[in-house]
Structure 1
Amino acid sequence: MDFDHLAEEKSNLIFQVWLQNLLRNSPEELAGKVASRHRAGTPVKAAPLANGAFNICYRVTYDDGHRVVVRFTALGRVVARTEKVEDEVAIMQYVAQYTRVPVPKVLGSGKCVVGPYIVMDYAEGKQLSGYLRQPSQEIVTLRSNINMSVLRRAYMGMAEILLELSKPEFPFIGAVRLDETGEWTFSNIPHSIFGQQHFDNAADYFEELARHHFHHLELQRNDAVTDEADCRKKYIARCLFRKLSRDISKEHCKGPFRLYCDDLRPDNVLVDASRLAVTGVIDWEFTYAAPAEFTYAAPWWLLLEKPEDWETDLDEFLVRFMPRFNTFLEVLKECEAKKIQDGSLSHSQQLSIAMEKSMETGLFWICLASRHSSMFDEIYWKFIDPRFYGPFTAVEDRLGLLSEEERANIDTIIEQKMLQASEGTFVSHYSIDELVDL
């Protein structure tokens, strides 16, 4: 489903107003003041860093040469900014304590005149994607003629990170937090998003994700459907996906659940220039205890591209993806063998067998469709529907698989979506004051 262009314009406007406010407050000076709250010494210099999608970042240098990063969470890019910062701080502390993944040390967090922020040590290194991407292309994609030695070294670093993150086990699905007693808890998912704070089984969670696709279709007013036929097909796809969602997780439905980062990719991995050895992993805000299936599915980032940048002809995508996936599997198996030999990994903790099967069983596509709305319909009709419901002939044939209530609602949904599309209006679910305070 395409992005709502009016919602995007509104978000961009809010972001620009927030950015002007940041600039009026002399961001380099502000970054130095914020840094001094959490690290002793005198900041003498602050310089902007490359920004991600959700943050504006500054590197602050102290008089003793120590460097830290101050990250201001951008208004207009994130709704629940305070929760985002709190979640990321907690997960970075957890990863640092319980895994070997190198993460910047969090020095502190809080709120300032422009909103929530994090202060952390500066991690040396350059983005791994910079050594892999095709130059001079707007969309980040893997270099077509990349040296295989370079690619294998890069994949080895990513494999080591994945294996480390897969080791911790959790009793619930949800955000990971440190409570007042020093115990790690697994809740704090906002009530406005989920029907409950955490999930003790994957079936409920996958069903909740399937409901989110319904909410998305119903609540996005613009650019959601092109015509009545498109709306009918999207509605049926979401009904049938919800119907099968409780059966996605069978072997691991009751856990244990695994640490998973939705945004883990070479863009967020820092390496040294000589060996491409990992020096730090950043951007942990979308990390949580998740169904084991997410960990066992093949990585989506092997071509560097985000799912929304894939071609809609997924057969063409697979032509490019599968050779790189086979290379990654070889590297992952090599990495696992070394770790088993040195005692840092058990046979039961291997991921390669499950990842290989995920392409054969369709788990890769199911997990991707569960988490990503942008390519949901293409993925569903190409790889999921025929696997569960047999060869596809016509949309009308799938109507019989819907419940009586779902069939009764379809005309109402279509009428509603056509009316929304004709009105071309934007409905804000939050006031500016609410966005600032969240």
Structure 2
Amino acid sequence: MADRESRQYAVAYDELFNEDNDNEYEAWLDVVLKPASIEYLERFVADKLGGDRGPVYYVNMARGSYNLVLQFRINDNRAPARLALRMPQRGFTVEALTAERLENEVYWMQYIEEQSTVPVPHIYSWAARGDAVDDHIGPYMLMDYVEGQKLHTCLAAWEASDDQADAVEKRKVVFEQLADFLLQLRSHRFDKIGSITRVDGGTWAVTRRPLTIDMHAQLASMPGFSTDGWPRGPLPYAKDYVSLATALRNHQMLCLRNINIPGAWNKKGFFDFQEGEAIDMERALKTARGRFLARHAMALPAAAAHLDESDGNDVDEHDKKPFVLFNPDLSASNILVDLNTARITALIDFEYTNAVPAALADDPPVWLSPKNFMRFLTLGFVAEWQILYKPTLDAFLAVLERVEQKQKQKQQQQQLPPYASELPPLSARMRASWEKRTFLVNYAIQRSELADTIYHDQPTLFPAVPEAVDGTDDWTQEVHTYEEYTRWQIDLYEADRKARHQKRQLGGI
């Protein structure tokens, strides 16, 4: 099982380019944590909260994938007692997207706080660009510091607990809250694909382009990544969103220098690339051919037909406009829970939230188990994970169905637009996504680093490449051209690696 084909298609970002990011981040962090800087930050937080709160004290820091979070406390027995100052990390965030990414998150958090009972940290002050940005700090968000353990920590603790009756009850309490929150988030409707701003009259509308995880991650992790063709505003049709996802996948294939270099995942979860003469070029070219086939198949219109509402004959009525709120980064790592009471204290990280085609928000939450879906998927063990996860999913869907029934009477008493009481309910759509494995197709659409692994692990989920294309002279030439391009990419990557190694030996770093 360790040598299964799908493992050849793992994507690990350019570790040489990331060396530069690491160096920039470490130099920036050293400056941020200097005593004089901490004192400045304490005064900054006190000033933004209001001058009558007394002294503010720095507590500690936490690092996320793209952001640094500094915790501060105020000893005056008034709320809030603790605050979080969040700043985009230097080195691992893209300067050209920093303001847009932060603004999007602020707007969605404010929208969710106003329009639902879903718990999100309250934002007291923020700045993304212009004169409001402090030169010493840069773009930032100052918000409530929310106590709680990450949900995945709680799930693991409850699974290992000696008191399983208590653990089952706590998991049920969490599931009931999540069911309510997901139903609330899924109920909001928008007329375009993208992110929101407040417009005239204080209402909210989609006025900005979608900013996706792929867009930011690839621009942050690959030298020479092109933004040509990126949308400048919101998208009117699902097919436009699919075209954007397809372009991002194809640009990744061309810009990620090490994308086809063979290697293996180590025990720490990192991908160890072959180097120098140890590179198995035959395997690299085989990977290139398989990757080219996967991306060609996923670019066919039928691959994402379930998202496209433009043809009423091909899609269900409930998959048509309007578009819905969806956070692809919602996971057990971004849900905070009181371990003792199982009360959800906050949902966090809304940077890549968008209004999207409805079918993307119909997938079951694959993160409700300590059995890490992304890890199983990356290693090509999807079938094994599905067996392990099925009991958890059944338990959650049973809870969701009960919550839906409780809300049904309330919904009928309210004057809601027809789409708000649509059928089938979310629980049925999630079950259908699971049974048809549509959720895997959606992951392939949204996460280009997983697309080829999913395709080769689950090829029947995607349209077959027409026989008139596969095997023709034109097809053979295209594949051969990409093989030669792969050789060039590997040579370029190896030259960079050797130059860096030589520089280190000479004491240049």
The two structures share one fold, judged by TM-score above 0.5:
yes
- Where do residues 128-167 of structure 1 align in structure 2 (5 Å cutoff)? 128-133=151-156, 147-167=167-187
How far residue 267 of structure 1 moved from its aligned partner, in angstroms, is: 2.0
Give the corresponding residue for 1:434.
none
How far residue 6 of structure 1 moved from its aligned partner, in angstroms, is: 1.5
Of the three residues 69, 85, 102, the one matched with 1:57 is 69
- CA distance in 1 between counterparts of 2:178 and 2:472 reads 44
Of the three residues 289, 305, 313, the one matched with 2:381 is 313
Q: Does 1:91 align with 2:108?
A: yes
- 5+ residue gaps in structure 2? 1-10, 128-132, 212-226, 263-283, 308-314, 498-509
- Where do residues 195-234 of structure 1 align in structure 2 (5 Å cutoff)? 195-226=231-262, 227-234=284-291
How far residue 126 of structure 1 moved from its aligned partner, in angstroms, is: 3.1
Q: Which has the larger Rg?
A: 2
- Where do residues 4-403 of structure 1 align in structure 2 (5 Å cutoff)? 4-24=14-34, 26-40=36-50, 41-65=53-77, 66=80, 67-79=82-94, 80-110=97-127, 111-112=133-134, 113-133=136-156, 147-179=167-199, 182-186=202-206, 187-189=208-210, 194-226=230-262, 227-243=284-300, 244-249=302-307, 250-251=315-316, 254-304=320-370, 305=372, 307-308=374-375, 310=377, 311-343=379-411, 347-348=421-422, 350-383=425-458, 385-389=459-463, 400=469
Contact 2:319 2:359 in 1 (8 A): no
How far residue 362 of structure 1 moved from its aligned partner, in angstroms, is: 2.6
In the superposition, the TM-score normalised over structure 1's length comes to 0.85
In the superposition, the TM-score normalised over structure 2's length comes to 0.74
Relative distance call for 1:331 and 1:405 in structure 2 (3 A) is farther
* Structure 1 residue matching 2:478: 3-state secondary structure: helix
Relative distance call for 1:271 and 1:6 in structure 2 (3 A) is same
Whichever structure has more helix as a proportion of its residues is 2
Relative distance call for 1:386 and 1:126 in structure 2 (3 A) is closer
Contact 1:43 1:60 in 2 (8 A): no
CA displacement, residues 73-116 of structure 1 (integer Å, 9 cap, x when unaligned): 11122212222211111111111111111111111112332421
Relative distance call for 1:402 and 1:282 in structure 2 (3 A) is farther
Contact 2:150 2:333 in 1 (8 A): yes
Relative distance call for 1:236 and 1:109 in structure 2 (3 A) is same
Percent sequence identity over aligned pairs: 25
Relative distance call for 1:426 and 1:281 in structure 2 (3 A) is farther
Contact 2:298 2:463 in 1 (8 A): no
What's the C-alpha RMSD, in Å, of the aligned pairs? 2.9
* Structure 2 residue matching 1:248: 3-state secondary structure: helix
CA displacement, residues 155-202 of structure 1 (integer Å, 9 cap, x when unaligned): 222222211110110111111222466342321447657244221111
- 5+ residue gaps in structure 1? 136-141, 428-438
* Structure 2 residue matching 1:119: 3-state secondary structure: strand
- CA distance in 1 between counterparts of 2:463 and 2:346 reads 44
Contact 1:210 1:245 in 2 (8 A): no
How far residue 144 of structure 1 moved from its aligned partner, in angstroms, is: 9.8
Contact 1:207 1:246 in 2 (8 A): no
Contact 1:127 1:266 in 2 (8 A): yes
* Structure 2 residue matching 1:297: 3-state secondary structure: coil
- CA distance in 1 between counterparts of 2:398 and 2:409 reads 17
Contact 1:225 1:231 in 2 (8 A): no
- CA distance in 2 between counterparts of 1:402 and 1:30 reads 65
* Structure 1 residue matching 2:125: 3-state secondary structure: strand
In structure 1, what residue type is equivalent to 2:152? S
- CA distance in 2 between counterparts of 1:312 and 1:293 reads 24
* Structure 2 residue matching 1:176: 3-state secondary structure: strand
Relative distance call for 1:354 and 1:77 in structure 2 (3 A) is same
CA displacement, residues 315-353 of structure 1 (integer Å, 9 cap, x when unaligned): 112121222211211121122122224448965273100
- CA distance in 2 between counterparts of 1:177 and 1:417 reads 42
Contact 1:72 1:116 in 2 (8 A): yes
